Amino acid sequence: MPLNSGHRSFHNRFLIFSLAVIGLFLLLILRLWYLQVISSDRYLNLAEKNRIRYIPIAAPRGPIYDRDGKLLVQNRPAFTISVLRQEIDDRDALLQRLSLYLGMPLEDLNKRFAKGGRYHRYRPFPLAEDVGRDILERVQENALDLPGVLAEVRPVRSYPDGSMAAHLFGYLAEVTEDDLNHAKGDDYRLGDLIGKSGLEKRLEIQLRGTAGERLVEVDVRGKELRQLKTLEPIPGNRVYLTLQRDLQRTAEAALGNQAGAAVALDVKTGEVLAMVSHPTFNPAAFASGISGEEWVALLKDPRHPLQNKAIKGQYPPASTFKMVTALAALKAGIVTPATTVNCSGKFTLGGREFRCWKKHGHGSVDLKKALRESCDVYFYQVGLDLGIDSIAQMAQSLGLGTPLGFPLEGERGGLIPTRQWKKERFNDRWYDGETVIAAIGQGYVSVTPLQLAVMTAAIANGGTVLRPHVIKRIEDLQGNVLLENKPEVIGSSGLRASDLRAVQQGMVAVVNEMGGTGRATHLDAITVAGKTGTAQVVRMKEDRIKDETTIPYRFRDHALFVAFAPVEDPRIAVAVVVEHGMHGGSAGAPIARAIFENYFGLPPSTVEASGAFYGD
């Protein structure tokens, strides 16, 4: 019995052990089956990632041309040194070697590498952009010592004319977290460039294109063995502007180093032929990556080089506003072209004297003479008879005091004051003395250079206000027209032809008759009509300082000039503002003259200054 009992006990233990072994083998078989069958795709993908790189290919942005098909903005290839974090074992050693090869401080490389932590582990991020060919070759020669380092070619924006029209074109910068979190969705990734201002921002969707991708096989050291697949990028669309490149160049050169703006419009279509804002900036610096120090310097520059002053600068229109007052008075029947006012050099209202720029006065002045010699007293009296609301109504009907819908963000509206505006703004009534000042474009009145150009075009074309536009058409790669802008009427002054003709004749006298304040724009071949303006920045206690160059720059008057030509069949309207240029006749008129000479194909000329320049 004991023997049989022992035998049974052994048999039971053996059976349990056998079942355990069989169970273990079954578990191993099931695990192998799970790994090789159920999870085969997952582990195959993990293995592929160890030997395959997905390298994005940036799409070239669409080129930008002028109205005649001349290239304004293009792309150029730039070499970029990038890294893949997944393939780096010894970061410090790698960056030490790269510091030598790239000629970059180790501290800068560490900062850039830390910034790259935002990128996906399997996506390369740049350490050095737009490097020279010598650096590229040095990195490639030492590729075995630089695991995870890639040499890429990326398209970078190029500007054949340097900083010309930089405010119109705008600039690019790397997408931010805010860009990614808002309307951009999955179309952008960290490291991509996006339009941040100007047309680059406005036409981002049309210009951007579609990125491509390369799939390459690499060995364990990250060396590329072969290319498996390439998805070619699709370049962005072609954009044609209304700008005329040579005219833009001329306007830029004429404004020179002076701060201010100049705008030239097609009188019949509203097309922008030239738009200048100075000082400017170099958009190529943004394309290759601007430093923090350079960015701060631009922001702190007191002359505001990043501001497009043509659409954002708000200035008192000064005497260029006198056409508005004149047209309002003619329409209301307050004056006729023959109505005269006696100018003794000052205008008295309620015990206060309002002076004319000409100390001893202009004598008996009719409308033509008042415009030609820019008599302040004439417009003081006419403005007072009219009232501020009538003046404001005419100004608004000519496109002043409100944004015009120009296709760039940040366009300012300026200000055309009314009685109601002052009541709402200051809870105070309007005074006659404020009307007197507003009648000559001072006081609360402010406009943009673009608005002045639109106003001048309306006076030239018979009173029609056209929306200014700069995008002529957009085409895809096959030449199909995706968008084409046509002239758009946004208002009408409702003026009689005779009233417009009377003001036009006064503007002709400004440029072409002796005593005219705009003689610097006179051309023998073309009849130009214009008007000067001098906008007071601060009120001077003395009548006039004999040597105005002794006035500190920031206190000097702004110089303005508006004009159109030819008078017989107007084609082009121009507005110029020179900040602290002192006189429209001496600072603004010559710039307009250079623009007209280029537009009409006339040889450049110089004009001798005369005392008349100092009138306005």
Better pLDDT: 316 or 191: 316
Mean pLDDT of 527-546: 76
Residue 611 has pLDDT above 50, yes or no: no
How many other C-beta atoms are found inside a 10 Å radius of the C-beta of residue 339? 16
* Residue 610: band (very low, low, confident or very high) from pLDDT cuts 50, 70, 90: very low
Element holding 274 (H helix, E strand): strand 272-278
With b for 16 or more beta-carbon neighbours within 10 A and e for fewer, the 200-210 pattern comes to bbbbbebbbbe
Identify which has the larger pLDDT, 240 or 149. Answer: 240
Residue 606 phi, psi dihedral angles, 5° rounding: -115, 150
* Residue carrying the six token digits 């790669």: 477
- Read off the pLDDT of each residue in 126-145 and give the average, rounded to a whole number: 80
Largest Cα–Cα distance of the chain, in whole Å?
151
> Which pLDDT tens digit goes with each residue over 328-342?
999 999 999 999 999
Q: How many residues are given for the chain?
A: 616
Quote the crossing angle between the two packed helices 388-397 and 376-386, to the nearest 10°: 100
Cα–Cα dist 115/186, whole Å: 21
* Cα 78 off chain centre by: 24
- pLDDT 10s digits, 254-282: 999 999 999 999 999 999 999 999 999 98
Which top CATH class is 245-281+308-615? alpha beta
- The token duo for 476 is 């895809």
Given a cut of 90, is residue 523 above it in pLDDT? Answer: yes
What percent of the chain has a predicted confidence (pLDDT) above 70?
87
288 pLDDT exceeds 70? Answer: no
Rounded Cα–Cα distance for residues 412 and 310 (Å): 10
Residues 32-77 have pLDDT tens digits of 766 666 666 655 554 544 567 777 788 899 999 999 999 999 998 8
DSSP structure string for 316-383: --GGGGHHHHHHHHHHHTS--TT--EEE-SEEEETTEEEE-SSTT--EEE-HHHHHHTT-HHHHHHHH
Residues 6+ apart with CB under 8 A from 296: none
Q: DSSP H helical segments within 441-536, as ranges?
A: 449-461, 497-512
Question: Are 305 and 281 a contacting pair, CB within 8 Å?
Answer: yes
Given a contact cutoff of 8 angstroms between Cβ atoms, the answer to whether 581 and 258 are in contact is yes
Q: What angle do CA 151, 186, 61 make, to 5 degrees?
A: 55
Buried/exposed code over 597-606 (b: 16+ C-beta within 10 A; e: otherwise): bbbeeeeeee
Query: How many angstroms separate the CA atoms of 455 and 398, rounded?
Result: 5
What's 38's DSSP letter? I
Work out the average pLDDT over 376-384. Answer: 96
Q: Which runs of E-coded beta strand occur in 30-137?
A: 52-57, 64-65, 71-83, 125-131
What are the residue ranges of CATH 3.90.1310.10 in the chain? Answer: 52-117+125-130+149-241
- Residues forming the active site: 319
Token representation of residue 165: 């029209």
DSSP secondary structure code for residue 34 in this structure: I
> pLDDT above 90 covers what percent of the chain?
56
Average pLDDT for residues 72-92, to the nearest whole number? 83
Residues 6+ apart with CB under 8 A from 580: 259, 537, 553, 554, 555, 556, 557, 558
Higher pLDDT, 142 or 353: 353
Cα distances from 578 to residues 303, 319, 547, in angstroms, run 12, 14, 19
- Rounded average pLDDT over 319-334: 97
In which residue ranges of the chain is CATH 3.40.710.10 found? 245-281+308-615
What is the 3-state secondary structure of 407-466?
Answer: CCCCCCCCECCCHHHHHHHHCCCCCHHHHHHHCCCCCCCEECHHHHHHHHHHHHHCCEEE
Cα Rg, the chain, nearest whole Å = 35
Q: What is the pLDDT of residue 50?
A: 54
**CA 465/CA 486 separation, integer angstroms:** 14
Q: How many CB atoms neighbour CB 225 within 10 A?
A: 10
Give ∠ CA 65-69-282 in degrees, rounded to 5: 30
| Cα–Cα distance for residue pair 381/377, rounded to 1 Å | 6
Name the architecture of domain 52-117+125-130+149-241: Alpha-Beta Complex (3.90)
Do the beta carbons of residue 208 and residue 34 sit within 8 Å?
no
Q: What is the pLDDT of residue 38?
A: 67
Average per-residue pLDDT for the chain = 86
